[in-house]
Amino acid sequence: MDRNEAKIWMERINEAVKYIQENTDSFNPLYGIILGTGLGQLAKEIDEKYSLDYGNIPHFPVSTVESHQGRLIFGYLEGKPVVAMQGRFHYYEGYSLKEVTFPVRVMKMLGIKRLFVSNAAGGLNPKMEVGDLMIIKDHINLLPDNPLRGPNLDELGPRFPDMSQVYDPEAIAMAEAFARENNIRCHTGVYVAVPGPNLETKAEYKFLRLIGADAVGMSTVPEVIVARHMNLPVFGISAITDIGFPIERVKEVSLEDVIAAASTAEPHMTKIIRALVANLDN
């Protein structure tokens, strides 16, 4: 990839932004929200003003996972303007991480000041139960790629972005306090991203616990890296849909199980995100 390719990506981003602005009366979202597997309900709570199918937005990838709808929703949550991705893109679908993170670039150029990310994940902390939540305080990238690889998009961020404090401490503290006050079962921990699409072997779950992870999933980290490259504050939260550690607790998991468990956790997650959207100042 040469310098020219950076220019091509910038042009693609600008074309998508232009299309979106033309089709939303230049709606100016304050926050961006990415909804993970089985966690699309929050979208229903948005007072929707505009909705765009991914398929109509120039250069947007189209989600291949049936459990993910492919829509960008513009509207108000807690009275604040937001844009929500109902359905996201995963490395295992075959996209490059530049494609996976393209919508994050676009949301930033639409004006978002903060990114909220949710996902379904396997629990590795022995204190976890299916249906619990985990606020992400840090992550480990085990994907065999990085969305920032290749010429840097200098207009958007630095070549070597810092990752010493990826997840916004103020949002984490606010979410922890809210969960405590509302008796929501919620942990705070480290998320590790793996390529998938297969779930982990018992030996792999054990390895992921040993390297310091509390939850494992197949998403989030690429979008978060790109958000931090552009200096966006990030809040991430996982719905624990199955248990990977200790290995005696590992059971066979199907997509239906994951979606069912995510639906159990969803109302709590929605409450936490609403509370943050309502109470964060910027």
CB contact at 8 A, 176 and 269? no
What six digits make up the tokens of 31? 């926050």
Q: Which residue is nearest to ligand HPA (CB)?
A: 122
Write each residue from 115 to 154 as x if it is in contact with ligand HPA (CB under 6 A), else as -, in one continuous string. Answer: -----xxx--------------------------------
Smallest distance from the beta carbon of 30 to ligand HPA, in angstroms?
Answer: 29
Is residue 232 involved in binding ligand HPA (CB under 6 A)? Answer: no
109 or 192, CB closer to ligand HPA? Answer: 192
138 or 242, CB closer to ligand HPA? Answer: 242
199 or 269, CB closer to ligand HPA? Answer: 199
Strands (E), 142-225: 186-193, 215-217
The correct pick among 83, 172, 218, 276 for binding ligand HPA (CB under 6 A) is 218
43 contacts: CB under 8 Å, gap ≥ 6: 35, 71, 73, 84, 86
The span from the CA of 130 to the CA of 148, in Å, is 34
165 or 254, CB closer to ligand HPA? Answer: 254
81 or 236, CB closer to ligand HPA? Answer: 236
* Helices 3-23, 102-109: inter-axial angle, 10-degree rounding: 60
Is residue 192 involved in binding ligand HPA (CB under 6 A)? Answer: no
What six digits make up the tokens of 99? 């494609």
CB contact at 8 A, 247 and 223? no
The correct pick among 97, 133, 221, 258 for binding ligand HPA (CB under 6 A) is 258
